[in-house]
Amino acid sequence: MYRFTILFLLTLNINYATAQWDYGFLSEYFFGRKPNVRSQAMGGCYPAFQTESSVVYYNPAGLQIKKKEIAFQSSYSSPYYILDDAKYIFSGIAYGLNEKFSIGFTFNHFNVGDISFGDADGNVIGYFNPIRHNFALSLNYKLPLGIALGVNGNYFGVSEKVIPDAYTMLADIGLEKKIDMVKTKSQQHRICFATALFNFAKSSITYEYPYSNSKTDHELPQICNFSASYNFDLMNVNDSTGLKSHRITFSSQFEDVLNSEFKTSIRLGVEYLFYKMIALRAGWFNTTEYDYGSPEINKSNLKEFTYGLGFILPLDLLTKNKTPFCFKFDFVNLKQNSLSNPFPFKMKNYNGFSLSINYQFK
């Protein structure tokens, strides 16, 4: 019964409403698992300098796709703490309409899995399967002075199976500025500054309770982030393919839920890319947590080191654009840390996989 109580608090947590965002409500969907596995390996940092559709989850201004380039990405991760059957799925596609406009469509799906609930004697009397999903349409426009503006329009839904399904609309906005500091035949130094505000209109979601004929409004989290990244490329001037290069990327990010006293994060990440084919990644983050007034049991912050690998097959470079495809595969396998101490259950490692395909139309 104790295990069920923890599962219930992790997944449902909609029994009360407050004037601000409820800490536990939807916290993991918006501020936990990341659809970009590269970012997850780098402490959850904003994945700057990448043309991937999942970048809109971090900042819609990052969706800067080349003209006539199409970018597809899909990722899968599991489990969710002690919920071994839980899974998080992301899919997205983006296209560069011209030199200034890019458009993207993405889908997030967070499925907790079948959760049993029982009576006071421990007998299972039913199941429910909490699901959150989000459809987003993203637009990006390159402004003068090298600044990019991006917006997301989201259609978000929650299905708990024990109450009627609920849906709402929300919008995000972001800005990004990339600066080429030094660019020669053998070296390139770039920096990127970005900021984003998610749910800037302070949207909420309304639940209807079938047995009491009552409704409850829950304000969705309003998240602000600031990012800074540095990218250094070292290239071989005698290499006509452009493959014989080395790249180091450093990223940092600050995140804050504006309508909550908790959930503030500092994130750091680094990536080394060898010959544009093998990527080694590492990161660290520190997130403040709510201890529910029991610091002797629950943690007030969560610190974690992260790491992962990436493999790239740049057919466009290998064939000198005769086959204009680029395939990317990213992977993480990370130990999960609990938010309470001691924690009575053993948790499996968190695994994430991602496949990205870019194609350049001629």
User: Would you say residue 7 has pLDDT above 50?
Assistant: no
CA-CA-CA-CA torsion sign (26, 29, 31, 32): positive
Residue 199, CB-side half-sphere exposure with 13 Å CA sphere: 21
Where residue 246 falls among pLDDT bands split at 50, 70, 90? Answer: very high
Q: When comparing pLDDT for 81 and 147, which is higher?
A: 147
Domain 2-360 class in CATH: mainly beta
Cα 125 from Cα 270, distance rounded (Å): 48
What is the spatial distance between Cα 209 and Cα 163, in angstroms, rounded to a whole number?
6
What's the confidence (pLDDT) of residue 8? 38
Q: Has residue 54 got a pLDDT over 60?
A: yes
Cα of first residue to Cα of last residue in the chain, in angstroms, is 61
CB-CB contact of 284 with 251 (8 Å): no
Q: Is the pLDDT of residue 293 over 90?
A: no
Q: What would the mean pLDDT of 281-305 be, rounded to a whole number? A: 88
**Most confident stretch, 167-181, 237-251, 254-268, 280-294:** 167-181
- The residue among 186 and 8 whose pLDDT is bigger is 186
For the record, the structure tokens of 220 come out as 């969705």
Sign of torsion, CA 38 143 190 358? positive
Per residue in 339-358, pLDDT (tens digit) is 787 777 888 999 999 999 99
Q: Quote the percentage of the chain above a pLDDT of 70.
A: 90
pLDDT band at residue 21 under the 50/70/90 scheme: low
Instruction: Give the separation between CA 178 and CA 50, rounded to whole angstroms.
Output: 12
pLDDT band for 24, please (50, 70, 90 cuts): low
48 class by beta-carbon count within 10 Å (0-12 exposed, 13-18 middle, 19+ buried) = buried
Name all contacts of 159-164 with Cβ < 8 Å and 24+ positions apart.
159/129, 159/130, 159/131, 159/132, 159/133, 160/12, 160/14, 160/128, 160/130, 160/131, 161/128, 161/129, 161/130, 162/12, 162/128, 163/14, 163/207, 163/208, 163/209, 163/210, 164/207, 164/208, 164/210
pLDDT at site 6: 40
Convert 198-221 to b/e letters by CB count within 10 Å (16 or more is b). bbbeeeebebeeeeeeeebebbbb
pLDDT tens, position by position, 204-245: 888 887 766 778 888 888 999 999 999 999 988 888 777 889
Per-residue pLDDT tens over the stretch 117-171: 766 777 777 777 888 899 999 999 999 988 999 999 999 998 877 778 889 999 9
- Is the pLDDT confidence value at 4 over 70? no
Comparing 9 with 59, the larger pLDDT belongs to 59
Q: Domain ranges for the chain, please list them.
A: 2-360
